[in-house]
C-alpha cells in the first residue's frame, strides 16, 4: 500500500483531496476499482469520470478540474510521464534469473557476464560479448563478434548476425532480425549479381526495437540507430541507413538504403523513404508519406510525393470538391456546347 500523498510527491504533483488514502494499484479509467489510482491523459476521457470507481485520479494542468472535483486528484504537468512513474511503483517487469540455462549453446570463446541471463535453446557464437545484467530470452541467436552491452533485453526468437554492436539498456522485441544482408544486386547482363554486404550494425544506448523488425547490415561501413531512438513493430531499415538520436519510427515504415534520418524525427506509419535521401532534424512525416527527396530540418510533411503539411491539407480539400466541380463543368459544357448554339440560330 502506498499513501496518495507519497504518490503525489513522487510525480511532483499538486494534491487535491485526502492524501492519507491508501492506494494498492493503478488501472485504466474504465476498469479501475476502489483503492486504485487512474489517470486522465486527454480531455476526451472526461466522459468516463462520472462512472469511475478509482480512489484517485492523475490529471494534467490543462484538464478542467471542475469536472473531477468530487475525486481525489493529483495535478501534474504531464500525465503520461506521471503514469510511467506510478506504474513503476506498483508493477515491476520480472527479470529472468542470472546464469546460462543448460540447454543453451554458448561458444567457449564467448564472454558472458555472471549477472547475465541466457535462456534455453539460445545460441551464442565465438567472440560474442554479453554484458552485465543482460537478459537473453529463449531461442535467440547471437552471432560471432556481437556485443550486447549492460542492461539490454533480447526477447525470444531474436536473431543478431555477426559484427553487431548493441548498446546499453537496449530492448529488442521478439522475432526481430538485426544485421541480415542488405538487399543489393547488380545486373551483369544475364543475372542479378549479389553485392557482398560486409559492414556492420550499430545500435546505440537506450534504443527500443519492436517485434518483427529488420535492420540490415551495411555494405561496407555501418547501419546506425542513434541513442534513444524508438522503432515500432514491422519496420524495415535497409543497409547503410543512419537514424539519429531520439527519433520515432512507427509501424510499417520502410527506409531504403543509404538514407540519412536526423535527430528527433517522427516517421508515422507506412511512411516510405527513398534511398540516399537526407531528412533533417525534427522533421515530422504523416502516415503513408512517400519521401522522395531531401527534407529540410523542422519540416512538417505529408502525402506522396511528400509536400508541406498545409499544402497537403489544402489539396485534400480540393479533392473533396472535385465531384461537384466536375458536375458544374458538365452543366456548363452542356449549356454552351456548339450543338446548342446551332439549334438556337435555326
Residue, of 345 and 116, whose pLDDT is higher: 116
pLDDT, residue 339, reads 62
Picking from 179, 104, 176, the residue whose alpha carbon sits closest to that of residue 147 is 179
Average pLDDT over residues 59-77: 81
Q: Give, as one character, the DSSP assignment of residue 295.
A: B
Q: Look-up: residue for cell 468530487?
A: 70
CB 291 within 8 A of CB 255: no
CB 238 within 8 A of CB 257: yes
pLDDT exceeds 60 at position 125: yes
Tell me the three state secondary structure of residue 237.
strand
Listed ranges 85-94, 294-303, 323-332; the one with the highest mean pLDDT: 294-303
CB 115 within 8 A of CB 41: no
Q: Which residues contact 221 (CB under 8 A, 6 or more apart)?
A: 199, 200, 240
Cα distance between residue 212 and residue 200, in whole Å: 20
CA-to-CA dists, residue 45 to 60, 62, 67, angstroms = 12, 13, 11
CB 301 within 8 A of CB 291: yes
pLDDT, residue 341, reads 54
pLDDT, residue 249, reads 98
Q: What is the pLDDT of residues 208-240, one digit of tens each?
A: 999 999 999 999 999 999 999 999 999 999 999
pLDDT above 90 covers a percentage of the chain that reads 81
Cell reading at 69: 472535483
Picking from 154, 131, 275, the residue whose alpha carbon sits closest to that of residue 207 is 154
Tell me the three state secondary structure of residue 82.
helix
Average pLDDT over residues 107-129: 98
Q: Which residues contact 40 (CB under 8 A, 6 or more apart)?
A: 29, 46, 49, 57, 58, 59, 60, 63, 68, 79
Q: What is the CA radius of gyration of the chain?
A: 27
pLDDT above 70 covers a percentage of the chain that reads 96
Instruction: Give φ, ψ of 301 to 5 degrees.
Output: -125, 160
pLDDT exceeds 90 at position 49: no
Poorest-pLDDT segment among 73-77, 176-180, 206-210, 342-346: 342-346
pLDDT, residue 61, reads 87
pTM reported for the whole predicted model: 0.89
Poorest-pLDDT segment among 141-145, 161-165, 182-186: 182-186
Cell reading at 244: 539519429
pLDDT exceeds 60 at position 114: yes
Q: Determine the CATH number of domain 158-305.
A: 2.160.10.10
Cα distance between residue 40 and residue 27, in whole Å: 11
Q: Give, as one character, the DSSP assignment of residue 343.
A: H
The string of DSSP letters for 83-145 reads HHHHHHHH-PPP-PPSEE-TTSEE-TT-EE-TT-EE-TT-EE-TT-EE-TT-EE-TT-EE-TT
pLDDT exceeds 90 at position 67: no
pLDDT level of residue 301 (50, 70, 90 thresholds)? very high
Catalytic residues: 239
pLDDT exceeds 60 at position 42: yes
pLDDT exceeds 80 at position 137: yes
Cα distance between residue 268 and residue 4, in whole Å: 37
Q: Select from 2.40.50.140, 3.30.70.1060, 3.40.1390.10, 3.40.50.970 the CATH code of 2-90.
A: 3.40.1390.10
HSE of 60 in the Cβ direction (CA atoms, 13 Å)?
A: 14
pLDDT level of residue 346 (50, 70, 90 thresholds)? low
Q: Which residues contact 104 (CB under 8 A, 6 or more apart)?
A: 118, 119, 120, 121, 122, 123, 124
Residue, of 59 and 46, whose pLDDT is higher: 59
- Neighbouring C-beta atoms of residue 210, cutoff 10 Å: 20
Q: Which residues contact 19 (CB under 8 A, 6 or more apart)?
A: 3, 4, 5, 8
Instruction: Give φ, ψ of 221 to 5 degrees.
Output: -95, -115
Q: Beta 72-76 vs 14-16: how paired, if at all?
A: antiparallel
pLDDT, residue 340, reads 55
Cα distance between residue 124 and residue 121, in whole Å: 10
Amino acid at each position: 500500500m502506498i499513501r496518495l500523498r507519497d504518490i503525489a510527491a513522487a510525480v511532483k504533483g499538486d494534491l487535491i483531496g485526502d492524501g492519507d488514502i491508501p492506494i494498492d494499484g493503478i488501472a485504466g479509467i474504465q476498469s479501475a476499482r476502489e483503492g486504485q489510482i487512474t489517470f486522465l491523459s486527454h480531455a476526451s476521457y472526461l466522459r468516463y469520470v462520472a462512472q469511475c470507481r478509482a480512489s484517485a485520479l492523475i490529471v494534467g494542468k490543462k484538464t478542467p478540474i471542475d469536472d473531477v472535483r468530487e475525486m481525489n486528484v493529483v495535478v501534474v504537468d504531464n500525465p503520461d510521464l506521471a503514469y510511467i512513474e506510478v506504474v513503476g511503483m506498483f508493477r515491476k517487469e520480472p527479470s529472468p534469473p542470472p546464469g546460462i540455462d543448460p540447454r543453451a549453446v554458448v561458444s567457449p570463446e564467448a564472454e558472458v557476464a555472471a549477472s547475465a541471463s541466457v535462456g534455453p535453446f539460445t545460441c551464442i557464437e565465438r567472440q560474442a560479448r554479453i554484458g552485465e545484467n543482460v537478459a537473453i530470452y529463449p531461442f535467440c541467436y547471437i552471432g560471432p563478434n556481437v556485443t550486447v552491452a549492460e542492461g539490454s533485453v533480447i526477447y525470444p526468437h531474436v536473431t543478431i548476425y555477426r559484427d553487431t554492436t548493441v548498446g546499453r539498456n537496449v530492448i529488442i522485441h521478439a522475432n526481430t532480425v538485426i544485421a541480415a544482408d542488405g538487399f543489393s544486386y547488380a545486373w551483369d547482363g544475364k543475372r542479378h549479381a549479389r553485392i557482398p554486404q560486409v559492414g556492420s550494425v550499430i545500435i546505440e544506448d537506450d534504443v527500443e526495437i519492436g517485434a518483427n523488425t529488420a535492420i540490415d547490415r551495411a555494405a561496407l561501413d555501418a547501419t546506425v540507430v542513434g541513442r534513444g531512438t524508438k522503432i515500432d513493430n514491422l519496420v524495415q531499415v535497409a543497409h547503410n541507413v543512419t537514424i539519429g538520436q531520439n527519433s520515432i519510427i512507427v509501424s510499417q515504415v520502410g527506409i531504403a538504403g543509404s538514407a540519412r534520418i536526423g535527430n528527433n524525427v517522427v516517421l508515422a506509419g507506412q511512411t516510405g523513404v527513398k534511398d540516399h535521401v537526407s531528412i533533417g532534424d525534427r522533421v515530422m512525416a504523416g502516415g503513408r508519406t512517400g519521401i522522395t527527396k531531401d527534407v529540410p530540418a523542422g519540416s512538417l510533411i505529408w502525402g506522396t510525393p511528400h509536400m508541406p503539411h498545409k499544402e497537403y491539407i489544402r489539396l485534400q480539400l480540393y479533392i473533396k470538391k472535385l465531384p461537384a466541380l466536375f458536375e458544374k463543368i458538365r452543366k456548363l459544357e452542356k449549356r454552351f456546347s456548339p450543338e446548342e448554339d446551332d439549334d438556337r440560330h435555326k
